[in-house]
Structure 1
Amino acid sequence: MLRSVLLWFVLLSLFNCKDNGPQVNKIESADDIIKKSIEVAGGNLFDRSEINFDFRDIHYRAIRDHGKFQLERRFRDSVSEIKDVLSNSGFERFREGEKVQLVDSLANLYGNSVNSVHYFSVLPYSLDGKAVHKTYLGSKEINGKDYHKIKVTFSEDGGGEDFDDEFIYWIDKEQFSVDYLAYSFKEIDDSLGFRFREAYNPRIINELRFVDYNNFKPASADVNLEKLDDLFIAGKLQLLSKIELKNIQVHVLN
């Protein structure tokens, strides 16, 4: 009888191990964590939305409609109103409503600038794209909270002009919010630059989550992207600027 009880206990334990195994892997899957963070931030509502906001005295407007997109910015230079438009068709600039002919280098420069602001404004939206590659780097405690640490890189095909930029996201293990991010990028002189951002002022506007950021940089370029969290914890990053989105309006499309 005792042998039967012990055998049943062993079989039950093995069954539970097999059952729990995929769940543990699922929790630690970078893809699943990113998908959960996108869902918490608003999920597929981003794919059918019109978002307006102001950033540093420039007005931005984004229309995303099931794969079609139009990202805009409007501002005045010294003489007239400028409207930049980045869409599935490419980049266009308008001055007082008239299209401006641009050389490719300027079109790429302005288009990347428009895309960058819109990209950061809705993170982690778009991190589940086909050109996005995620690597789980383990856990990290920052300011008393436990985070999933995930590295993101991009394929050259479909990864955009700056496909070789690298990102790291720290995602709260309980809330699945992106509370910190860091990235490397090429400076104008082709040297490598680094930024570390701390999210603050989270708010939900018409079911979509937005945050502002404290934008930090290391004192030296001789650093490792994956170690920027340690420098932040040690207070060895310099506050460069604040990324604040103002007057946010969200309209969900049908």
Structure 2
Amino acid sequence: MLRTRVIPALLVLDGSLVKTVNFKNPNYIGDPCNTVRIFNDLEVDELMVLDISSDRHVRGPDLDLIRQLSDECFMPLSYGGGVRSFSDAQSLFSLGIEKVVLNTSALKDPSIITSISSIYGSQAVIVSIDVKQGFWGSETVRSCNGKHRTGIDPISWAKKVVEYGAGEILLTSIAREGTWSGFDIDLLHNVSSAVEVPVIAHGGAGNLQDIGYAVSLGGASAVALGSMVVFQKRGMGVLVNFPAQSDLLNVLN
């Protein structure tokens, strides 16, 4: 049995499924509901949807789309994008979302983590930490889909969100995202070694070996896949897919 979770991470922009590179240049993939149906057929264990629409932080989650996705999805579903308050999270949980993913809102006011986790449990709150190297070489946390420099050290921020009640961390290397070049193993190792909650590696997976390295070398508890599950191969066309269980067992167990 596969012990490490491998999670398709789907990006939604204005109601459409897209894939970015370094958080830029979204490439149209297809209809998110149809994609969820395919993952149902592929018997994926868990699914994550991240809405990167620019107005999400103002308008909040797209509840109509989320209702459709939740109705279609046969597996546990996590959602992030525009979750600004406890009320937003409450609406998502009422629609069947199992975990909410917080990023910009947690940076603005970390108490939102506590307000949600104190009612729904820490396992229901994932804090997304997006990291990018600055001009002087140091890696710092970014918010607002990678656009805003916070100047915050990712390790200290990871420790803080856990103190506030986060049950998991989604750790994304912006420089690796969508590149098929492998995860930032040093970043993964440094963050996962600093906290006692599961860290989900995200950004850069290009093959099965990368998934194995994220766990064995980076200390990740789970791996989120983007390009690998929506494209045939690097540089090739769209094909929604998922690694065979036997192949994952070979690199993870």
Q: TM-score range by the shorter chain?
A: 0.3 to 0.5
TM-score (norm 2): 0.33
Structure 1 or 2: more helix by fraction: 2
- TM-score normalised according to structure 1 size: 0.33
- Higher strand proportion: 1
